[in-house]
């Protein structure tokens, strides 16, 4: 693959479910959504990984505007930090759940009561290039509304990460 070329991002899976839970005070709806995006990039795995785990630099991210972390701080499990989104000036809290160097970064996002959000990035080197996977999992009664707001931006996350890593080569 030629230098600086990013392959088309393809959604792999969209899973949406609705369950009704019976509670003492009545019925309550519980929504769940899971979607994975995957892209083949020509950027080396080290370049992609360094761009991804540098949590203070979110200039490439279409949803996040800035974080409260010092420059150069790398992702470590258990780290809790704040970020401001491009959609609202309200800060959200992010928790680094799991890090496997060069392979996986998993984050939990605490934004609103009634919403549980998990983001997972996976990177895999192959002979054809480097595959980047971005998974979004939303649970809670606010999931359909939040998904409606973030879907156009979620579609771009993997492409923007690949572009930023390829620019930095």
Q: Which of 141, 121, 143, 142 is nearest to 132 (CA)?
A: 121
Tens-place pLDDT, residues 3-36: 445 454 555 545 555 555 445 555 455 688 899 9
Report if pTM > 0.75: yes
Q: Give strand ranges (E) for 72-140.
A: 80-85, 91-100, 104-110, 116-125, 130-139
Helix (H) or strand (E) holding 144: helix 143-154
- Tell me the mean pLDDT in the region 85-107: 93
Tens-place pLDDT, residues 131-159: 999 999 999 888 888 889 888 898 899 99
Residue 107 binned pLDDT confidence (cut-offs 50, 70, 90): very high
Q: For the domain with range 10-167, which CATH number is right: 3.40.50.720, 3.30.530.20, 3.40.630.10, 1.10.287.610? A: 3.30.530.20
Helix (H) or strand (E) holding 160: helix 157-167
- Tell me the mean pLDDT in the region 76-87: 93
pLDDT for 100: 96
pLDDT for 1: 43
Q: Would you list the domain boundaries of the chain?
A: 10-167
Token pair 């999992």 in the structure block, residue:
137
Percent share of the chain, pLDDT over 90: 57
> In Å, how far from its chain's centre is CA 33?
14
Average pLDDT, the chain: 84
Collapsed DSSP state (helix, strand, coil) of residue 45? helix
pLDDT for 159: 92
């Amino acid at each position: 693959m030629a230098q600086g070329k990013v392959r088309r991002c393809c959604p792999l899976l969209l899973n949406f479910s609705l369950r009704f839970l019976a509670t003492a005070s009545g019925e309550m709806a519980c929504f769940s959504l899971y979607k994975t995006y995957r892209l083949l990039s020509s950027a080396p795995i080290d370049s992609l990984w360094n761009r991804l785990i540098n949590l203070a630099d979110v200039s490439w991210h279409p949803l996040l505007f800035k974080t409260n972390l010092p420059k150069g701080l790398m992702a470590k499990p258990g780290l809790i930090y704040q970020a401001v989104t491009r959609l609202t000036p309200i800060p959200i809290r992010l928790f680094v759940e799991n890090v496997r160097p060069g392979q996986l970064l998993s984050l939990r996002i605490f934004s609103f009561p009634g919403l549980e959000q998990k983001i997972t990035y996976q990177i895999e080197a192959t002979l054809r290039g480097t595959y980047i996977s971005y998974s979004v999992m939303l649970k809670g009664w606010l999931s359909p509304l939040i998904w409606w707001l973030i879907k156009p931006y979620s579609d771009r996350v993997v492409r923007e990460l690949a572009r930023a890593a390829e620019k930095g080569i």
